[in-house]
A and B are shown apart, each in its own frame.
Chain A
Amino acid sequence: MFKYIRLETKNIAYLFPFIVILLSACSNSTDNTAVDEEILLKEWDSYKENASESEVSIFMWGGDEGINAYMDEFVSPELKEKHNITLNRVAMDTNEILQKLMNEKRANQEEGTIDIIWINGENFLNAKENDLLFGPFTEVLPNYQEYVDTESLDILYDFGTEVEGLEAPWGSVQFVFQYDSAKVSDPPKSFEELSTWVKENPGKFVYPEPSDFTGNAFLQHLLYDQIGGPDKLLENGFDEEFVTNNTDGMWEYLRDIEPFLWRDGETYPASLTELDRLYSQGEIWMTMGYNEARAESFINDGTFPESTKSFVLDSGSIGNTHFLAIPYNSPNKEGALVAINELLSPEAQMTKYDTTYWGESMGIDPEKLSNDNKEKLAAMERGGSVLPANELNEAFLPEVDTQYGGWIREKWLNEVVQTD
């Protein structure tokens, strides 16, 4: 008998963690809105004071070694030295970060683990609609006020969603195609020429499926081309009837080139990584992606052939801005503000522009820099695979409502894939 009793008490101990979990899920629902508003009313210097010796966790997509190196080798020591902040970078896909926040929101968890997230587009729309973000906070950042072109449309709108101060612009990228100049002498200038090229070189071109961000952007270019530029799409927001009625040619075009694509169009790469792998192994001769300088780091580490060059089509190239935001339940909002402000500083932005690490365009306005910095910027070499700035600027096209992305995905499946 004694033996049984001992076993039972032991088991109550086993149960303890579960009870704690159950109880903690039920409590913890205080309202923090008032505290948040108070934070935003403080003086800038008091943030710096409070942030000192604290830890700031940034959750961000970690699939690019150049970007990771920029964070770990430049930003992290910089924050430590200037503000005594310990930066803790956690690699996670943005949609999963939002899922985590969404779960925390449902469980009424007011103290989370994330202080900064890297975000834009659909993810921002979802975060905004579900009240997952803290703010509006951008107005309190000195560097935002001083260096950001606050009137610019691609900073006021993120893929058609109004930003409303909930995220601060970190950088911007433009969509370019990369090709191997050793194999392709004269890259196409329009979708028509691309189609001719694809037919002359069967199996050497493919785009990622549109569930991938890059594949979706490729199709969006085609959509713009089809209806004569993004203006009509920008005017009315998402208009399903309009695009459905005016895009037969687009799907016709895709069905027409499909038999000449990689693997005879039977399958498409599931991700940009996969497309780049095919390009680096020479299976295909062109790849593509956001960030006009993306090929540089691949050329430097030997993944892409040195003869890699880039091009944009005459009908333009889509560019977008990406942002930094603070979750509603960030445990260190003041630290996050200081860190984001530092990331928007000319120094941090110009190091990011340099191809050593990342090589993408700045989130701040180059015109607002000091003369010294302007000169430095002009002297920076972006590398042989990057198109000249004026050519990129001329080609720049804005993003439209994110719902077009979803429409493209659905429609592509019906019109291109299921017709085989």
Chain B
Amino acid sequence: MRLRTLVWREIFERKSQLATSFLAILLGITVIVSIKNITFYSEKAVSREMDSLGANVLILPKSATLQDYYAADMQGDTIPREYIDQLALSNLEGLDNVSPKLSVPVELKGLKFHLTGILPKKEFQAKAAWQGAGIFSRPIGCGAMPTLPFAPGDNKTLVRQRVVEDLEKDEALVGSDVASALGISEGQSLELLGQAFRVTAVLPQTGTIDDSRIFAHLDRVQELSGKGDVINAIEVIGCCQEISNGLVSKINKLLPDAKVVTITQIADAQIKMNRLMSRLSMIFLVIIVFVGGAGIANYMYANVFERRREIGTLMALGAHSSLILRIFLLKALLLGLTGGIGGYLLGTVLAATLGPKLAGVPVLPMPILFLWALGISIGLALLSSYFPARRAAKLDPCATFQEL
């Protein structure tokens, strides 16, 4: 005979009464785990989608507007290039990618285009529209989707990445409109502002102003345009979660002489969805705490009442009040443990099954949710059972013997 034998036997003796409490905790944990699991992968998927739309934070000169930016950032004002260094050296979290740009007008064969200076890798990583075309590798960071076994791979991405990273100062990338208007293809040369450039790639059509851009190295564009060490804009891919946590105001504080704007329509969609999901899981958490907790407490009080003679007998046989307390708390612990494990398994299966149908995303098990599930279910079971257990421990043994 051990304490656990005493508890275990009682559970099995009255298992039908325990079933309701167990079901309450099991279903509660199942729902929370499945929502959290689906939410996690849904957020990642939306983040990736957001990423594919390009930069979501812009750093512009004070006088510039978003319209200026969309009109090929051809505003007259500039900001110092050293802002890039300031951002790089700051301890700001959530900057997934930073891409400076300087644009100047150029004329070729009587046609007007934009020569845009970029810092190769960063600029290209920010241009997610191109990534969608499979040219560049994904940036690693908050917006990146973990590699799923069934995610489609793209050989082209790796092949072309080298080109981007190796962009030399006499190399240029041309937008699709530029290429078709001038009849240029890869490997040909063109002269811009008195300097010859070799076209290393013709970019796929994006349907944006970028189609009429010619990209070259930022250093060379600065040098040829005679504008000095300045840029027109810095495109930032910020983590949406960090944006909602005040990334913009933090950048504003760091760069007080610049204008920092979010592409709110895009960021808001993400933030709203994230908030909806997290509110939903919070609502379920509150429901399980109140309904599940009340159910367990109610069951435990009834159990104490039903077992008062048994408790009195144990006390008459010499049981201390602490032992009675432990009997009920151990039972609560077992209830929480089994409810938590069962809820995690069921919730994970549910998420993996329903996730692709409901949220359109593949969902994989998340071991961290196992700790979550156990923490909530055991904590709730112990907390709900504490007062009934204490009542049992304080029972007057005399009152339990009606026949005496």
Q: Do A and B bind each other?
A: no
